[in-house]
Structure 1
Amino acid sequence: MCRQFFDEPLSLHTSFRIGGPARLFLVPKSVEQMLCALKLYPGAKLLGKGTNVLAPDEGVDVVISTLGLSNFLFDGDLLISDAGVLLSKLCVESAERGLSGLELLYGIPGTIGGAILMNAGAYGAQIADVVEWVECFDGEQMRILHRSQLEFSYRDSVFKKRNWLVLRACLRLTKSDPEAVRSKMEKIMKKRLETQPLDLPSAGSFFKRPHSNFYVGKAIEQLGLKGFRIGDAQISTKHAGFIVNLGSATAKDVIALAQTVKQLVEKHFNVVLEPEVDIW
C-alpha cells in the first residue's frame, strides 16, 4: 500500500522551498503501486525530488511521488535504474565501478526520471547521450521506448511532450579508470560551487537558453538585474540565471520576478525567454 500524507506542505518537497499543501501526497513503493495510484488519481501531479518545480502557494489536490521507485543495478556497462533514484547517486555509483558517461552531469539535483523527462544536461553533456531505453506509462499502458523513439532535444523529450511517466531506464556507460572519473566529477562540482548559488533555495537555471549563442544569465546581468528582488524572490547575485528564495518567497513573487525579467530581455534583446522550471 502507498504511504499517504494529508495536507503535506510542498515547500518540504521542492528545492525552491515554496508551495502550499497537497491535500493528498502519495508515495508508491513499486511500479505496481504507482500504476494503481495513477489510475485512481489520473489528474495527480507527479513529483520526483522537486528540483525543477515551482509549486503554487495555494497548493494542489493530489501529488504522487516517484521517490519510492528506488532500485538500480549494474550489468557490465549497462545501468538499469528506477525513475526515483537520485542522479547524483548514480554518478557516484558509476564512478566507483569505473564507468564513464555521467560525470559531467554530477551535481545536477533531482532524479534520473526527472533528468530524462527534461533531457537534463550541463557542460556540453546531456542525459540523452547515454540512454538506451526507457520504460514508461502513457496513461493507458506500459511501453518500452528505445533511444530512437525518445525525441530528445534541448531540455525536452517525448515524455515531456506527451506527459508520459518515466518508470525505469537503461543507460549505456563506458569502461574507464575510476580515479579519472572521480577526478572529473570533483572538478565539475568545484566549478558549480564557484559559479552557482547552491547555498540558497532555487530550482536551478530558471530560463531555457533560447539559442546556442545567447547566454541568459549574462543578458540579465547586462540589464543590471543582479540582486533585483520582488518580495523574497531575488535574481541571484552570484549567477543571474538563477532565481533564489531568500527565506519566505512565494510562488507569486517568483512568477512576478520572472515576468519582469522576461519583459526586459525581450525589450532590450528581442529574445523571448521560456521557463526551464515546471510551473504548476
Structure 2
Amino acid sequence: MARGLNRVYLIGTLTARPDMRYTPGGMAVLELTLAGNDLVQDETGIREIPWYHRVKLLGRQAERWGDALEAGQPLFVEGRLEYRTWEAEGQRKSIVEIRADFLDPLDGRQMETVEDARGQMRLRNALNQAILMGNLTRDAELRYTPQGTPVARMSLAVNERPRGQAGLGGEPRAASRREHWEEKTHFLEVQAWRDLAEWAGELRKGEPILVIGRLVNDSWTSSTGERRYLTRVEATRLERLTRGSGQAGGPRPQKDRTGGVDIEEGLEDFPPEEDLPF
C-alpha cells in the first residue's frame, strides 16, 4: 500500500463562538465552524462557491483557544480527515470529520468578507485544500450527468502516519504526540469532473494515487426519507504513483480541473455521515 498522506488546510472565518465540552475522561473538545468562498472555474466561467466546515480540536490547544475566539475571527487550520465507524441500533454508521492538529488566528484587516443569510461572516478568497495519498479500494466509477458532463467517483484508503510527524513548521505537534500511535486506515471519497474524470475512469482497484482538491459537503434525502450527509474531496489534480503499484510507467501529467455540478444518482452507494454519540 502507498505511504499515506492526509492533510487539510483551511483559512476561513468563524461563524460563531466555538463550542467547548469535555469527554468522560476529561479531554477538552473544541468544535467550531469555519466559512469561506472558493473560486471555481467551469464551463460558465469563474464562480464563488460558499463552504462551511466543522472542525474539531482536542486537548491543550482546545483549552487554550476555547475562550479566546469570537464570531467573525479569521483562522488558519492545519489538520486531517478522520474516518470513524460505530454501531447504532444494529446498523453500521460512519462519519468523516476534520480533526485540527493546529490552529492560529489571523489578522483580518486586509481580508474581505461577505455576510450570509444568517448574518454569519464568510471569508472571500479563502483556503480550502486537502492533500491525500493512498490506494483505491475499488475501480473508479465514471458516469455522465444529464447534461453530458463526465464525473468520476473513487474511494481511497489512506494509512495514517504515526502521531508526532512534523507539521508545516517542521516541529511535531504537542497534541499529536499524546495521541495513540497504532496504524489506522481512513476511507475517503474523491470526486473528479470533466477531463480529469475521464482520465480517472481508467484507474483500478489497488492503484496508489495522489489527490489534491477541495473539501465538499454533500447532502441528500435517501429513498427511505432520511437526510444524509457526506464529506468528500473534489479533485483538482490527480497523479498516479509508481511505487508499490506493480505497474510500469510513470505518473501521467494532469491538467487542473474542478467543478461545482451536483449529481444525485448513485449516492446511496456511499455511507452516510451521522453525529457521533458521546
Instruction: Between the two structures, name the one with larger relative contact order (CA 8 Å, sep ≥ 6).
Output: 2
The TM-score with structure 2 as length reference comes to 0.23
The TM-score with structure 1 as length reference comes to 0.23
* Greater fraction strand: 2
* Greater fraction helix: 1
